[in-house]
């Protein structure tokens, strides 16, 4: 199983790498690093390092971005008529599913992980009075948030893409879903007692960045596991629409 999963993972990575000509892929990656690793930390300054709420960016960004990868990996493969050929091999349903899921998550996570040192460097170069460095727990926390956020997004991506009519359809549904993940909590926040709301705002503004990051990672993991279970149940030969 592990070897098959690795084969699918490598296949997905290879397809992602060769999705456009080499320089387009490279320039897209550089643009992503420049914006998320350079521009955003430059705009936020010190807050990028010690602002507890920044963990929310680390959750939302990979969750949003990974959906495009998994939509292409599942709905795109069906659209390109390569999924059925893959299903007609000896690979198990699980190896294909986990390979695709992990490919999306690791792709985005690696890009986010690269943004961490670049962001730290940017803040220290643009803000006086440094050095500004996150604690080890905080750095590990935001990376965990990026992984679990990406994991949740990728799992949702697989579930939606399996039934979607096209890649575009899958991406539209997923984009709305990710948007709702932001808007719904904001709406719920307004319905909560004022004391609770203030407590939350206080935690996001002045709480421990490391604790908040790890708490958020745990929450995303809790949300992601049932979605993964649904993906596992549905991603079976005989249940996947082939055309």
Partner 1 sequence: MEEPHIGPIGIGAADGEGSERGAPSRIAIRTWGLTHDFPGVRALDELDLSVPRGSIFGFLGRNGAGKTTTLRVLLGLITPTAGQALVLGHDPRTESVHIRRRCGVLLEHSGLLERLTALDNLDLYGRIFRLPRAVRQARSEELLRRIGLWERREDPVHGWSRGMRQRLAIARALIHRPSLIFLDEPTAGLDPVSAQDVREDLLRLAARERVTVFLTTHNLAEAERLCDRVAVVRRGRLLSTGAPDEIGARYTRPQIRVRGEGFSENVLSLLAERPEVHAVERENRGALVSLADEARVSSLVTFLVRIGVGLEEVSPVGSSLEDGVLSLFRDEDAPVRAAG
Span of 36-44, 46-54, 74-82, 134-142 interacting with partner 1 by CB under 8 A? 74-82
| CB closer to partner 1, 88 vs 186 | 88
Q: What per-residue string of b and e applies to 91-124 under the rule 16 or more CB within 10 Å gives b?
A: bebebbbbbbbbbbbbbbbebbeebbeebbebbb
Does the footprint of partner 1 cover residue 25 (CB under 8 A)? no
Interface with partner 1 in residues 112-151 (CB under 8 A): none
Does the footprint of partner 1 cover residue 29 (CB under 8 A)? no
CB of 78 to partner 1, least distance (A): 11
Does the footprint of partner 1 cover residue 28 (CB under 8 A)? no
Does the footprint of partner 1 cover residue 166 (CB under 8 A)? no
# chain residues binding partner 1, by CB under 8 A: 22
CB of 10 to partner 1, least distance (A): 8
- Rounded to whole angstroms, the Cα distance separating 23 from 109 reads 21
Out of 2, 85, 195, 206, the only residue in the binding site for partner 1 (CB under 8 A) is: 85
Does the footprint of partner 1 cover residue 87 (CB under 8 A)? yes
Span of 12-20, 101-109, 123-131, 144-152 interacting with partner 1 by CB under 8 A? 12-20
| CB closer to partner 1, 18 vs 27 | 18
H/E/C letters for each residue in the chain?
Answer: CHHHHHHHHHHHHHHHHCCCCHHHHHHHHHHHHHHHHHHHHHHHCCHHHHCCCHHHHHHHHHHHHHHHHHHHHHHHHHHCCCHHHHHCCCCCHHHHHHHHHHHHHHHHHHHHHHHHHHHHHHHHHHCCCCCCCCCHHHHHHHHHHHHHHHHHHHHHHHHHHHHCCCHHHHHHHHHHHHHHHHHHHHHHHHHCCHHHHHHHHHHHHHCCHHHHHHHHHHHHHHHHHHHHHHHHHHCCCCCCCCC
Does the footprint of partner 1 cover residue 80 (CB under 8 A)? yes
Span of 6-14, 59-67, 115-123, 195-203 interacting with partner 1 by CB under 8 A? 6-14
Span of 33-41, 82-90, 172-180, 206-214 interacting with partner 1 by CB under 8 A? 82-90
Does the footprint of partner 1 cover residue 168 (CB under 8 A)? no
Does the footprint of partner 1 cover residue 24 (CB under 8 A)? no
Does the footprint of partner 1 cover residue 90 (CB under 8 A)? yes
Question: What is the token pair recorded at 115?
Answer: 């943004």
What residue ranges bind partner 1 (CB under 8 A)? 4, 7, 11, 14-15, 18-19, 80-82, 84-92, 237-238, 242
């Amino acid at each position: 199983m592990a070897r098959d999963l690795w084969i699918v993972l490598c296949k997905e990575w290879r397809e992602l790498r060769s999705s456009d000509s080499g320089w387009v892929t490279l320039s897209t990656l550089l643009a992503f690093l420049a914006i998320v690793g350079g521009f955003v930390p430059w705009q936020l300054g010190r807050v990028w390092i010690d602002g507890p709420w920044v963990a929310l960016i680390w959750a939302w960004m990979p969750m949003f971005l990974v959906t495009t990868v998994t939509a292409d990996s599942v709905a795109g493969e069906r659209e390109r008529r390569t999924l059925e050929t893959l299903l007609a091999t000896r690979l198990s349903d699980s190896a294909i599913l986990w390979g695709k899921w992990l490919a999306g998550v690791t792709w985005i996570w690696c890009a986010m992980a690269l943004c961490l040192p670049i962001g730290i460097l940017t803040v220290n170069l643009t803000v006086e009075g440094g050095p500004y460095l996150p604690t080890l727990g905080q750095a590990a926390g935001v990376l965990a948030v990026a992984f679990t956020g990406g994991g949740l997004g990728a799992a949702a991506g697989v579930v939606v893409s399996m039934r979607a009519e096209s890649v575009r359809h899958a991406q539209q549904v997923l984009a709305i879903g990710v948007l709702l993940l932001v808007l719904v909590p904001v709406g719920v926040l307004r319905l909560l007692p004022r004391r609770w709301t203030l407590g939350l705002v206080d935690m996001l503004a002045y709480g421990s960045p490391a604790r908040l990051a790890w708490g958020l990672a745990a929450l995303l993991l809790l949300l992601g596991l049932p979605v993964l279970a649904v993906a596992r149940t549905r991603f079976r030969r005989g249940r996947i629409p082939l055309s």
